[in-house]
Structure 1
């Protein structure tokens, strides 16, 4: 059996986008005027992405999800509360051996919302409650637009530099404003977007790829290659895998503790444990300077890759009734 057959996530185009963007930054980083241009293009792309996100998430789905507090409230507390505390714990473990900005990247990772597309896909593969997964992950992502940056500024921002009012204004203009506009005009465009899902998916990937490229270009210029010894990479990967394992175990355990039916518990598992590079990379491009963003998102990129690779066999195991 091939690796792609064992791990279907390896065929996900997002993996190729992240690898290409990172490799391009290592070989041909944007510097000087080129970086300023790349940053402008990245910010414009992020604005368009969140405008489209506002158009395609139905207001009726938001209302329906908010009505299911037995599922939604614990999910919110887990994603933004428990996972933030987990991120803080792993940052303390990483601090003695990894560069400070990489260590604080674990806090940033913990503050992020879950990913909608893969959480929904793997809930479906595991025969969980797909409708609940869609609405729950979407609502968490909407909340993340408003919650993740202030939460990180509160619990970990000082370690990554001063996150002041200017950064929060940029977030409001580039993330919150277009999302609100999209919600306001969605009735005119939502059917068109639904008919062009593939195009919208590639918009996601392109914007994320540009944001990752700009972030890692800054990290390369700051000496990323010389700051990491091989042993450091081993430590980073081990910590990311341990954090993912703890997230999966805790989400599954909490879903059982609050008495969710098995199908809802599966939805909670994937919506609670997975983290969104679709929000994390663009947000980092706005929140941090070029010297910091690439270091801060390093744990996020590895976590995202690991969750994609491990989620498929886990979902298949759950579908067979194991776990």
Structure 2
């Protein structure tokens, strides 16, 4: 049987197992530099403007990169797409709400907001597809699921964040909707419209544009943590709180992976679809989350809100790399 399969991005075939992902190193370096040399004065002002423009460019590129024909074709598997959407935007937020109630007394309000914000984020795109391919899952389904999740996240994530954090002092402020429209949704829609002309070029130059994408995110991390250092926010965060946030991240990942793997058996989902649901449902997008946090939250809490997202990212990469490799070595396993 022949057929076209979307090209799968690779990180030396097995991410993390051969080397630490450079993107993670860059983010942790930005945090360390911000702790030692936080941006201030004119540098901080320029960095703020630069990251604002960069985030807009980021979402413009996201829009231009979409291939509508692939999305329409993949949406026909409605059970797969529905399961991924439910895992991302129903199961995860419910778990986040439960965890926030259990550990909220041990955490700063900003960190609680970060745990809930993490639960509301869309899936990743690249890592979901890589892990699905490594584990012999439904690769076209993963491409569509991750893309649709990111598209929906532009509208769903702010609404979920507002719902989950409605009574929290660190939640999205009143101007968040307007900023989402101006800084995220408008550039995305413009990019989507422009994709008719520039889409092929954008997809052909994914490598250089990914470097731009990651440079903007590292800048966002540095700006957010610099602001927190200048305002003394991090003096209030202890090792114990970081350990609690890491524990929340581990519970998130373990619970969602287990549910996403076993529950689809109830309607007879095949192994390939279960692999896709597990990886697309459990991964959360750092690339979308950090820029969105700068738009949604007050500047004085952005660094705290970002911490759970930053801690979850290397955890999901490491655990899913190991799982995908083991599943890839037993492609006929049905358990």
Coarse TM-score class (shorter-chain normalised): over 0.9
* CA distance 1:8–1:204, change in 2 (3 Å): farther
Structure 1 moving runs of 4+ over 6 Å: none
Pairing of 1:92-171 with structure 2 (within 5 A): 92-161=101-170, 163-171=172-180
Instruction: Say whether 1:69 aligns with 2:78.
Output: yes
* Corresponding residue SS for 2:168: helix
- In structure 2, the residue matched to 1:15 is 24
- In structure 2, the residue matched to 1:258 is 267
CA offsets per residue over residues 115-161 of structure 1, 9 Å max, x none? 00101111111111111101110000000011101111112143144
For 1:113 and 1:254, the matched residues in 2 are separated by 20
Query: Which moves more between the two structures, 282-291 or 163-172?
Result: 163-172
The Cα of 1:92 is off from its aligned counterpart by 1.7
For 2:242 and 2:107, the matched residues in 1 are separated by 9
For 1:263 and 1:43, the matched residues in 2 are separated by 40
CA offsets per residue over residues 169-216 of structure 1, 9 Å max, x none? 111111111111111111211221222121011122111111111121
- In structure 2, the residue matched to 1:303 is 312
- In structure 1, the residue matched to 2:202 is 193
* Corresponding residue SS for 1:309: helix
Name the one with the larger helix percent.
Answer: 1
1:282 to 281, 291, 294: 291
For 2:61 and 2:270, the matched residues in 1 are separated by 33
8 A Cα contact 2:96 2:115, kept in partner = yes
For 2:201 and 2:302, the matched residues in 1 are separated by 34
8 A Cα contact 1:126 1:317, kept in partner = yes
8 A Cα contact 1:6 1:313, kept in partner = no
1:316 to 308, 311, 325: 325
8 A Cα contact 2:217 2:290, kept in partner = yes
- In structure 2, the residue matched to 1:218 is 227
The Cα RMSD (Å) is: 1.9
8 A Cα contact 1:214 1:285, kept in partner = no
Instruction: Say whether 1:291 aligns with 2:310.
Output: no
Aligned residue pairs: how many?
A: 320
For 1:251 and 1:71, the matched residues in 2 are separated by 11
* CA distance 1:9–1:194, change in 2 (3 Å): farther
- In structure 2, the residue matched to 1:204 is 213
Structure 1 length-normalised TM: 0.93
8 A Cα contact 1:214 1:290, kept in partner = no
Gaps of 5+ in 2: 1-13
For 1:264 and 1:44, the matched residues in 2 are separated by 38
For 2:326 and 2:299, the matched residues in 1 are separated by 42
* CA distance 1:251–1:9, change in 2 (3 Å): farther
- In structure 2, the residue matched to 1:89 is 98
For 2:118 and 2:264, the matched residues in 1 are separated by 21
For 1:218 and 1:258, the matched residues in 2 are separated by 49
8 A Cα contact 1:101 1:159, kept in partner = no
* CA distance 1:294–1:164, change in 2 (3 Å): closer
For 2:107 and 2:319, the matched residues in 1 are separated by 25
Query: Which moves more between the two structures, 246-255 or 5-14?
Result: 5-14
Gaps of 5+ in 1: none
